[in-house]
Amino acid sequence: MKRLVDYRLGIAVVFAWIGLWFATGSSQDLGTIAIVLWAAAGVLLVLTWLLRALGGLLALVALTLSFAALFVSSASWQLGDHAPSALNSGLNQEWDFVVEIDGSNCVVDTSSSDGRALVRIRSAENGEIRLTNLNAPAVIYAQLSSCDLGLNLDVSAKLVATSSGSRFAYRLFANSAPTIRSGPSGILSISNSLRNEFRDASARIGGDAAGLLPGLAIGDTSNVESSLDSSMKIVSLSHLTAVSGANCAVVVGLILAVGMVIGLPRALRVFLALGALACFVILVTPEPSVVRASVMAVIALLAISSGRATHGVSILALSVLVILTFDPWLAKDFGFALSVSATVGLLLLVAPLRQFLCKFLPDWLALLIAIPASAQIACGPILTLLNPNLPLYAIPANLLAEPAAPIATILGLVGCLLLPIAHPVGVFLVWIASVPTAWIASIARTLAELPFAQIPWLMGVAGALSLAVLSGLLILSLTFRNRFYSVVAGAIVGFVALAYVGASIGLQFERFANQPQDWTVASCDVGQGDALVIRSAGRFALIDLGPDPKLLKDCLDRLGISKVDLLILSHFDLDHVGGIGGITSRVGEAIVGPTSGQHDESVLSQLEDGGAIVQEAAAGMRGSLGALDWTILWPIERTRGLDPGNTSSVVIEFHPKTDCESGCFSSLFLGDLDAESQLRLLGENTISEFDVVKVAHHGSADQLDELYAQIRAKVAIISVGAGNDYGHPTFQCLQILERTSSNVFRTDESGMILVSRTSQAPLEVWTSN
């Protein structure tokens, strides 16, 4: 009976969580939604008392509604303090802010405005307006030299409001590097010093271990190379750098064990364990997985101190209830959802999987396989929302890496703590910990490079639900006591899996056999819209998303792209951002055109929820992609005097570096720029000749002859849909390109277009049609 109650509590919390997710994404007032939910819960409680025959079911529904009402009420109350009216009066204006770094999701970048941090606005000044004692949450995009929690910064930045349902109220786009006003104090200062010293000690090791060890020990992934990060995601090892239950268990277990050895009373042992846990959370920063694990540990410790027996499912459900009450915005955080799902898998699936595997394997090996398999099965549906591919080598990768992870974690953590007080010992432990760390990195890189490391899967909700159903059938096939039902469920799973994997491998063979693999510029065939990819030295930039998520996903899968390092959204018309659902979790950095309205803000929110660094485009922004340098040429200033849309489309150029060896040619992408803006672009920039140009606005008639005469591109790409209603590409545009002797390639006729160059040979163009 106790287990049934555990599951009822868990079911109520899960459905309340889903309700909170929809509520925070709704345009309706959260306070009104909360009142409705409280009223509905009250009505159901009365019905539960009147209709005793249905009392159990009605009580469960009433409990669910009560939890949902509690979550939504908390979100509504927190939103009330988010956006002061005086600050809202100065939206889209430059302010002088004092902000305090408040979140661990922070990126240091001292060379450009690619840094990002969650902050609290403490004061703001705009002319004669001065606001103090503020506590408004925001995200800042700026040149950041440090991500220390509690660091106070002075910064001048443009103030932009976020869409409703966001955990922060504003975006701050800094126009210059922030200056440090004051450093962290108290325990935050000690924690930041430990983290920095440990990061520096690890950096001296060199190799992959230099960046990965801080991630394993204290969850600091700031120095992990992007290529290693991508490899770990491909083979499902990225969870090792998310501090979670295992790390908390080590800390709590050590304190309890030492206390027991020296004879401390139980209450004192629990008190010391709670204190150590609190210090550990501050050291590793309160990431979602850390919050989940630490709250579970607190509840378990309190149960131990009271001498009560506990069940893992009830502790997890109660933890989620507490966490979402205090931080309802975690309802939409994929990291939190994955942490909870992995814990559910470990609590419910390890035992039956282990029992089944013991029929064929030694018990120790069955357990080693059951643990990662359980977590992978539970997290699989959510992971497909982030990346619609199935990691074929996830279980062997975890089987090989898991034994090394706790060694690296414990030695690294102890070394971190000893560095300030016994530096040589701490350095020695860091060096020892680097050995298992390097082993984990080598596993990730090796398996990620194997053929068919990822098998494409259905994307979106359909993909998540289908994988959940197959996973459920798999579990049932292993646990059914009725042999007939077990065989039927297993046969269904086996047939679908073999058919899908076979088809996916066949498609990948076809891709490798027919299309060139040395391309640099690709134009996806997404119909009437833009989606172009630039590749250099294993890094990818994507310009626009086309109108359809499925068409975009099919193109990226065909090109073998699992992560986009740089996304350029030229503007927010549907034919350029409609494919957002196929890319949100794959983006590292996004540079976007001027926004206008809730739709544009919702696109940015989706990118940020997927972990992307988002910033507004402005002429003069520069960066590199492998062996190519890029520069933003347009818009000439952030939104001032420009209407969001075609006239302010982001224009970006790529040029090869001096040491470029492959794919070394220049390219220019003109978005949907009209003739008047093209004239201004030509006046503001020195436009030279380019090897490849993406023709503006799908080849419309609104083109500037002088611009294309200046570009004189060898290859002109027109991204356009067959039989479109606009008459694109127009006769006028084609005539302009003919006068410049450009070779024109159109996606409506040629399908996918790939442009490549080997050494200094002429450009080569491949088309799928």
Query: Using H for helix, E for strand and C for coil, what is the string for 649-661?
Result: CCEEEEEECCCCC
Distance of alpha carbon 726 from the chain centroid = 36
Mean pLDDT within 165-194: 82
Q: Are 212 and 174 in contact (CB under 8 A)?
A: no
**Using CA atoms, how far apart are residues 90 and 125, in angstroms rounded to an integer?**
10
Q: Residues with Cβ < 8 Å from 510, sequence gap 6 or more?
A: none
pLDDT digit string (tens) for 388-430?
Answer: 778 888 888 988 988 888 898 889 888 998 999 999 999 999 9
Give the position of tokens 């294309």: 708
The percent of residues above 90 in pLDDT, for the chain, comes to: 19
**Using CA atoms, how far apart are residues 228 and 296, in angstroms rounded to an integer?**
31
Compute the half-sphere exposure of residue 703: CA atoms within 13 Å on the CB side of its CA.
27
Q: Are 345 and 377 in contact (CB under 8 A)?
A: yes
Element holding 739 (H helix, E strand): helix 731-739
Q: Are 606 and 580 in contact (CB under 8 A)?
A: yes
Confidence of residue 3 (pLDDT cuts 50, 70, 90): very low
Q: Are 702 and 670 in contact (CB under 8 A)?
A: no
In this prediction, residue 87 carries a pLDDT of 78
**Using CA atoms, how far apart are residues 223 and 199, in angstroms rounded to an integer?**
8
Tell me how far CA of residue 442 lies from CA of 97, 229, 400, in angstroms: 45, 12, 11
Q: Are 516 and 755 in contact (CB under 8 A)?
A: no
10 Å Cβ neighbour count for 96?
14
**Using CA atoms, how far apart are residues 455 and 559, in angstroms rounded to an integer?**
13
DSSP state of 690: -
10 Å Cβ neighbour count for 355?
14
Confidence of residue 111 (pLDDT cuts 50, 70, 90): very low
- Cα dihedral value 410, 413, 419, 421, nearest 10: -90
10 Å Cβ neighbour count for 223?
16
* Identity of the residue numbered 452: F
**Using CA atoms, how far apart are residues 426 and 428, in angstroms rounded to an integer?**
5
In this prediction, residue 474 carries a pLDDT of 75
* Identity of the residue numbered 727: G
**Using CA atoms, how far apart are residues 139 and 117, in angstroms rounded to an integer?**
6
Task: Phi first, then psi: give them for residue 75, nearest 5 degrees.
Answer: -65, -40
* Least confidently predicted of 77-81, 89-93, 741-745: 77-81
Name which of 225, 218, 224 is nearest 250 in CA terms.
218
Confidence of residue 684 (pLDDT cuts 50, 70, 90): confident
* Identity of the residue numbered 740: T
**553 φ/ψ sector (left φ>0, alpha ψ -120 to 50, else beta):** alpha
* Residue 91 reports pLDDT greater than 60: yes
**494 SS3 class:** helix
Confidence of residue 711 (pLDDT cuts 50, 70, 90): very high
Name which of 407, 522, 513, 393 is nearest 454 in CA terms.
393
In this prediction, residue 327 carries a pLDDT of 87
Tell me how far CA of residue 445 lies from CA of 232, 238, 541, 557, 565, in angstroms: 7, 12, 22, 20, 18
**Using CA atoms, how far apart are residues 705 and 662, in angstroms rounded to an integer?**
32
Two structure tokens written together for 599: 């739709």
Cis-peptide into 516, omega within 30 deg: no
The side-by-side arrangement of strands in the sheet containing 651-656 is 622-625, 628-634, 651-656, 667-669, 692-694, 715-718, 743-746
10 Å Cβ neighbour count for 346?
20
Task: Phi first, then psi: give them for residue 92, nearest 5 degrees.
Answer: 65, 25
- E strand intervals along 416-518: 454-456
**Using CA atoms, how far apart are residues 664 and 627, in angstroms rounded to an integer?**
8
DSSP state of 586: G
pLDDT digit string (tens) for 604-638?
Answer: 888 887 778 888 888 888 888 888 999 999 887 64
* Residue 145 reports pLDDT greater than 80: no
* Residue 523 reports pLDDT greater than 90: yes
In this prediction, residue 170 carries a pLDDT of 83
Name which of 609, 625, 552 is nearest 583 in CA terms.
552
**Using CA atoms, how far apart are residues 256 and 417, in angstroms rounded to an integer?**
19
Identify the bridge partners of residue 126 per DSSP, sorted by sequence position.
129
Residues 452-467 as b/e (b if ≥16 CB within 10 A, e otherwise) read ebbbbbbbeeebbebb
Name which of 291, 299, 205 is nearest 247 in CA terms.
291
**Using CA atoms, how far apart are residues 611 and 200, in angstroms rounded to an integer?**
25
**323 SS3 class:** helix
Tell me how far CA of residue 513 lies from CA of 267, 523, 558, in angstroms: 67, 19, 12
**Using CA atoms, how far apart are residues 153 and 144, in angstroms rounded to an integer?**
10
10 Å Cβ neighbour count for 598?
12
Mean pLDDT within 281-298: 85
How many residues are given for the chain? 769
Higher local confidence (pLDDT), 482 or 247: 247
10 Å Cβ neighbour count for 399?
17
Cα angle 389, 391, 396 (rounded to 5 degrees) comes to 175
* Residue 654 reports pLDDT greater than 90: yes
Confidence of residue 742 (pLDDT cuts 50, 70, 90): very high
Highest mean pLDDT among 149-163, 430-444, 654-668: 430-444
